Amino acid sequence: MIEIKGSIKQYAWGGYHYLPMMLGTNLGNEPAAELWLGDHKSGSATLIDGSPLCKWIEAAPEYRLGKGLVLRYGCRLPFLFKILDVREPLSIQVHPTIEQAKKGYKREISKGIAQDQRSYHDDNHKPELMLALSDFYLLHGFRNVTEALAELNKYKSLNEIIKLYSEIGIKGFVSLIFNLPKSNLGRLLTPIIEANRSAYAQNEISKSESLFWFMRAVERIERDNMDLDAGLLMIFIMNLMYVRKGDVVYQDAGVPHAYLEGQNIELMANSDNVVRCGLTPKHVDTRELLEITDFSPITPATVKGRANTDGSTDYIVPVDDFALREYKLEKGQSLATPEDKGACIWFVLSGEVKLDNQQHYSNSGSAFYQRPGEVNVFRAISDAVIYRASASTN
Ligand SMILES: [Zn+2]
């Protein structure tokens, strides 16, 4: 196994402390939003000598990825492992299926759409699994109609569109709000903003209410001089999900979602394809949004782990691009890493460990790459929590 270093993404919504403290780096006053541990070209991890992991893999793909993975996915890892620190809400987004991604990528390339206007950066799908590393809040799929109506009915100014929600359904409603002229959006939303401004400022609205996240999004819109955005109405018709540390959520293609606050591990298919769906100053491709979104309401649920005989826990999702395994080692315990037919990424979340083939001790934030067929031994110097990302073994 070799040690790898992740690539840090300094998006504006990121926090200032979590990742720098975990990695022992100092980024000054710059936010650190994501740590990417994978070979995606937009942010490849590196080896200790600074050379990109993607180049290293491409130099000997069958040896370093495994024959099976190369045949199925080509000369790249099928998954991308990330750590996120969400300080401010992200935009609402939807990810495509493989067929939609292939079509969309081809179309945007042939039309010569500029990089920053694109939704498709590759031809892959991007199902996502997240494991909360703190209390975590997110928007996840559409609420059932009764709940959405109850939420919308709290606000008098929304009267005229509530009737439409019942009449034209969720898809019609989403299409309508994304096509509203700015002035209409202002007429609907400004009364809600003004009525709740002081309660929000005085911390009187709970994070368990959709209104809190509506006001938080407004706070950012006003601070950054952005326009009011149809995504603000999406907050009321989407499920607000609170997950506790250790809980896992899966987001399949077509499910709209937005991370609101907290830290998490995110494991996904190796792709960067995002169709935006509001709460963003960037262009929303409404046509594509209506095309790929799944408008059926869903009941939010966490993914239950499956306990293995060696004490580890597997989080299995309905795609075979990735699976996440968790090990909780006690001080003094050792773990012979299970041999795998494909490449794996290991991540030390907490504690101190020593790998048998390394001279030094490794702390929280350390990551390793395991070649197919390779075995190594982790020795826990203190209690330690370790994660392994692999292609699904199912
Ligand atoms: Zn996403």
Cα-to-centroid distance, 257 and ligand 1 (Å): 6
Does 394 score more than 60 pLDDT? Answer: no
Residue 316, domain member (yes or no) = yes
Cα-to-centroid distance, 76 and ligand 1 (Å): 20
Query: Of all residues in the chain, what percent carry a pLDDT higher than 70?
Result: 99
Residue 188, domain member (yes or no) = yes
Q: Measure Cα distances from 389 to 35, 260, 364 in Å.
A: 15, 24, 16
Cα-to-centroid distance, 189 and ligand 1 (Å): 26
Q: Are residues 59 and 132 in the same domain?
A: yes
Domain boundary among 237, 255, 272: 237
Cα-to-centroid distance, 319 and ligand 1 (Å): 15
Mean pLDDT computed over 181-209: 97
Cα-to-centroid distance, 220 and ligand 1 (Å): 20
Domain of 359 in residue numbering reads as 306-390
Cα-to-centroid distance, 252 and ligand 1 (Å): 9
Q: Are residues 14 and 106 in the same domain?
A: yes
Residue 289, domain member (yes or no) = no
Q: Are residues 251 and 103 in the same domain?
A: yes
Cα-to-centroid distance, 195 and ligand 1 (Å): 32
Residue 183, domain member (yes or no) = yes
Cα-to-centroid distance, 346 and ligand 1 (Å): 22
Cα separation, 146 vs 242, in Å, equals: 20
Type of residue numbered 67:
K
Query: Of all residues in the chain, what percent carry a pLDDT higher than 90?
Result: 88
Backbone angles phi, psi at 314, to 5 degrees: -105, 140
Q: Are residues 119 and 204 in the same domain?
A: no
Cα-to-centroid distance, 348 and ligand 1 (Å): 23
Least reliable range by pLDDT among 67-71, 97-101, 117-121, 198-202: 117-121
How many domains are there within the chain?
3
Contact 256, 139 (CB under 8 A): yes
Type of residue numbered 54:
C
Cα-to-centroid distance, 274 and ligand 1 (Å): 7
Residue 114, pLDDT score: 87
The closest alpha carbon to 389, from 162, 29, 78, belongs to 78
Type of residue numbered 188:
L
Residue 298, domain member (yes or no) = no
Residue 12, pLDDT score: 92
Does 187 score more than 60 pLDDT? Answer: yes
Q: Are residues 213 and 358 in the same domain?
A: no
Residue 259, pLDDT score: 97
Cα-to-centroid distance, 253 and ligand 1 (Å): 9
* DSSP state for residue 365 in the 8-state scheme: T
Cα-to-centroid distance, 258 and ligand 1 (Å): 7
Cα-to-centroid distance, 287 and ligand 1 (Å): 19
Cα-to-centroid distance, 313 and ligand 1 (Å): 24
Cα-to-centroid distance, 185 and ligand 1 (Å): 26
Mean pLDDT computed over 346-355: 96
Does 369 score more than 90 pLDDT? Answer: yes
Round the average pLDDT of the chain to a whole number and report it.
94
Contact 391, 79 (CB under 8 A): yes
Cα separation, 383 vs 38, in Å, equals: 26
Cα separation, 160 vs 153, in Å, equals: 11
Cα-to-centroid distance, 345 and ligand 1 (Å): 21
Cα-to-centroid distance, 93 and ligand 1 (Å): 6
In CATH, what number is assigned to the domain containing residue 95?
A: 2.60.120.10
* DSSP state for residue 302 in the 8-state scheme: P
Q: Are residues 18 and 52 in the same domain?
A: yes
For residue 341, what pLDDT band results from cuts at 50, 70 and 90?
confident
Q: Are residues 46 and 86 in the same domain?
A: yes
Q: Are residues 233 and 247 in the same domain?
A: no
Cα-to-centroid distance, 272 and ligand 1 (Å): 9
Widest pairwise Cα distance in the chain: 68
Cα-to-centroid distance, 277 and ligand 1 (Å): 11
Cα-to-centroid distance, 44 and ligand 1 (Å): 19
Sheet holding 361-362, edge to edge: 334-336, 377-380, 353-355, 361-362
Does 60 score more than 70 pLDDT? Answer: yes
Cα-to-centroid distance, 21 and ligand 1 (Å): 25
Q: Are residues 83 and 124 in the same domain?
A: yes
The closest alpha carbon to 241, from 223, 261, 267, belongs to 261
Kindly report, residue by residue over 215-235, the tens digit of the pLDDT.
999 999 999 999 999 999 999
Cα separation, 312 vs 314, in Å, equals: 7
Kindly report, residue by residue over 74-87, the tens digit of the pLDDT.
999 999 999 999 99
Kindly report, residue by residue over 265-313, the tens digit of the pLDDT.
999 998 889 999 888 888 788 899 999 999 999 999 999 999 999 899 9
The closest alpha carbon to 249, from 138, 144, 147, belongs to 138
Q: Measure Cα distances from 210 to 33, 105, 214 in Å.
A: 24, 34, 6
Cα separation, 358 vs 181, in Å, equals: 61
Cα separation, 158 vs 214, in Å, equals: 14
Cα-to-centroid distance, 141 and ligand 1 (Å): 12
Residue 121, pLDDT score: 87
Residue 293, domain member (yes or no) = no
Kindly report, residue by residue over 40-51, the tens digit of the pLDDT.
988 999 999 999
Type of residue numbered 16:
Y
CB burial string 28-55: b at 16+ within 10 A, e below: eeebbbbbbbbbbeebbbbeeeeebbbe
Cα-to-centroid distance, 95 and ligand 1 (Å): 7
Residue 213, domain member (yes or no) = yes
Question: What are 336's strand-pairing partners?
Answer: 377
Cα-to-centroid distance, 360 and ligand 1 (Å): 36
Cα-to-centroid distance, 392 and ligand 1 (Å): 20
Kindly report, residue by residue over 148-167, the tens digit of the pLDDT.
999 999 999 999 999 999 99
Mapped onto helix, strand or coil, the DSSP state of residue 190 is: helix
Cα-to-centroid distance, 27 and ligand 1 (Å): 25
Q: Are residues 93 and 8 in the same domain?
A: yes
Cα-to-centroid distance, 266 and ligand 1 (Å): 9
Q: Are residues 158 and 29 in the same domain?
A: no
Residue 299, domain member (yes or no) = no
Q: Are residues 100 and 173 in the same domain?
A: no
Cα-to-centroid distance, 250 and ligand 1 (Å): 10
Cα-to-centroid distance, 16 and ligand 1 (Å): 21
Contact 89, 216 (CB under 8 A): yes
Contact 281, 233 (CB under 8 A): no
Kindly report, residue by residue over 140-153, the tens digit of the pLDDT.
999 999 999 999 99
Contact 312, 325 (CB under 8 A): yes
For residue 393, what pLDDT band results from cuts at 50, 70 and 90?
low
Cα separation, 122 vs 125, in Å, equals: 9
